[in-house]
Chain A
Amino acid sequence: MTDLTSLTLAEARKGLAQKSFTSLELTDAHLSAIEAARVLNAFVLETPEQARAMARAADGKIASGEGGPLAGIPLGIKDLFATRGVRTTACSKILGNFVPTYESTVTSQLWRDGAVMLGKLNNDEFAMGSSNETSCFGPVGNPWRREGSNATLVPGGSSGGSASAVAALLCMGATATDTGGSIRQPAAFTATVGIKPTYGRCSRWGIVAFASSLDQAGPIARSVRDAAMLLRSMAGHDPKDTTSVDIAVPDYEAAIGRSVKGMKIGIPREYRLDGMPAEIEKLWSEGAAWLEAAGAELVEVSLPHTKYALPAYYIVAPAEASSNLARYDGVRYGLREQGRNIIEMYENTRAEGFGAEVKRRVMIGTYVLSAGYYDAYYLRAQKVRTLIKKDFEDCFAKGVNAILTPATPSAAFGIGEKGGADPVEMYLNDIFTVTVNMAGLPGIAVPAGKDAQGLPLGLQLIGRPFDEETLFSLGEVIEEAAGRFTPVRWW
């Protein structure tokens, strides 16, 4: 029997249906792979007993013909999703040993459809980071290394554990979240597929909040088809999230293989940055040529406010974070540090519980919302956000179906290499992805090639609101042309 962990989700579904193997066998193969890959630090909690129990239950349902669309498929869950009875920390000391008494809507839908939970995945603390180095559990290793080098690279972030685990064949797919690029940037760094759906597509209920007007859940998987299968289960209206949208979830898988002939693909001139590596430029042209060869029409478009998206994001996101994270006060859950009075207790708890990046963002957010600065910073940033969204609307109004861009300005970098002196250096990672969150649009990152050092690079497709289907159709064209990329196992 071939190694069960190397199957795609679609192949595993077929194998399970044909009784070539059981979910328990599939799950055990992944549990062994996780055990052998602890050096990657992708999982912060392994749940083997629960995984086997869920696998046995799935096997029973498959046998009786009642298996759901993901019956028996082992998945990893980002530690930002509340899982009933299973420790959920957002990889922050301040949540400590928090054990939710409830289940996030997105994960409950995965279990409803028969998926199996292998454990909880590492991420940047409260999803604040682009390298998975801010986690209280320590950094995650990227399964990819530079050719001829033993240096461990970051998998990107904040969904670094998700991307690393999927790329290293530790799980068949993973949940992730994206506030400024946290699904797409790690997917690009690990040669996996990641989609951030339209804002409102997936319920945010039960996901630890970072910046509520930007946060969206989505999957990371090893193929475009696998990502489509996962998103179908994750998406859908939830009365418990007032921003979740009450429209039908299409069968995303049906969009794969659909003709892209005649589609208009926008190439935004503002994404051509000064000093962009030549290989990223080349990859972008190649991607455009692949889509053109499949019958799409390329058009140059302009998104004039692109350069302001990242600075506006670094006002809006910290402002919302400072408000969301006010709940961590040492009273209702998590860590408590004593003080001489209640204010000191709050201050000591938050000083001890939050890491450096989280403190920095909470403080910036507090500042831009404080009396006298609100108009100059927060209100202005929200106006700029309106302009960023209008750029995209103007573009789509001209008949553009999707926009093609690089996913990241570079390939993966080394642990400790970036952001040490100036936090902005790290923030620039999200320069191509953050616009999409600011405008609430769907975006997919698809592996498209490698750089001179053998590291994966990805392309991003940005779609119209609620048109994830077009992204899956176009994404598969790129995937077919570029081929699949698998890291050489060193762990």
Chain B
Amino acid sequence: MSVDAATVRRIAHLARIAVGDDEVPHLQGELNAMLAFVEQLSEVNVEGVEPMTSVTPMQMKKRPDVVNDGEIADDIVANAPATEGHFFLVPKVVE
């Protein structure tokens, strides 16, 4: 499989990465080189094989449903580019 220019733009938008028209041909070439490389997986017989979900056999760990962290709002917003009090500031989302 290979991707065309329109697909490159669609993927870029899904990935939330702005891509200029001048960058599309180059990205298309690179993505297609990667897709050509992974194409060889189609020759593997995976009939009846379970997809891997955990590389080490382990039971999903559970912990008591209690509050064990928090009250660190200052820490949470400490690195934010724009804040007001303990809120993150973003451009207007709802009209």
Using a CB–CB cutoff of 8 Å, the interface residues on chain A facing chain B are 98-99, 101-102, 198-200, 213, 239, 242-243, 245, 305, 307-308, 310-312, 314-315, 322, 326, 329-336, 338-339, 341-348, 350-351, 354, 359-360, 362-364, 366-367, 370, 373, 376-377, 379-387, 389, 422-424, 427, 438-440, 465
Contact = CB atoms under 8 A, between A and B. Distances in A.
Given A200-B58, A383-B49, A363 B11 contact: yes
Contacts, number: 163
Contacts of A314: 34, 37-38
Interface string B48-66: 0111111110101101000
B60 to A, nearest CB: 7
B12 interface: yes
B44 A424 contact: no
5 contacts: A347-B18, A350-B16, A351-B19, A383-B52, A386-B50
Interface in B47-95: 49-56, 58, 60-61, 63, 72, 75-76, 78-82, 88, 90-93
B17 to A, nearest CB: 5
Contact of B78 (A101, A242, A383, A427): A101
B90 A345 contact: yes
B51 A382 contact: yes
Contact of A423 (B16, B30, B51, B90): B30
A140 B89 CA distance: 37
B37 A311 contact: yes
B16 to A, nearest CB: 4
Nearest to B47: A383
A384 B51 CA distance: 8
B3 interface: yes
Contact of A339 (B39, B41, B91): B91
B56 A329 contact: no
Contact of A385 (B11, B52, B72, B91): B52
B34 A245 contact: no
B9 to A, nearest CB: 11
B50 A367 contact: no
A343 B40 CA distance: 36
Contact of A360 (B14, B34, B38): B34
Contacts of B46: 380, 383-384, 387
B79 A423 contact: no
A351 B60 contact: no
B94 to A, nearest CB: 10
B18 A350 contact: yes
A308 B44 contact: yes
A439 B55 CA distance: 6
**7 smallest A-B Cβ distances: which pairs?**
A440-B55, A382-B51, A333-B79, A351-B18, A336-B81, A101-B75, A347-B18
Contacts of B44: 305, 308, 380, 383-384, 387
A318 B18 CA distance: 18
A78 B17 CA distance: 27
Contacts of B78: 99, 101
B33 A200 contact: no
B10 to A, nearest CB: 8
B6 interface: no
A376 B35 CA distance: 12
Given A101-B78, A315-B38, A331-B80, A367 B56 contact: no
A101 B81 CA distance: 16
A333 B88 CA distance: 10
A239 B61 CA distance: 9
B31 A341 contact: no
A465 B56 contact: yes
Contacts of A383: 44, 46, 49-52
Given A200-B56, A379-B51, 19 more contacts: A200-B58, A239-B61, A243-B58, A308-B44, A314-B38, A332-B88, A334-B79, A334-B81, A342-B93, A343-B16, A347-B17, A363-B12, A363-B27, A366-B15, A367-B31, A382-B52, A382-B53, A423-B33, A440-B55
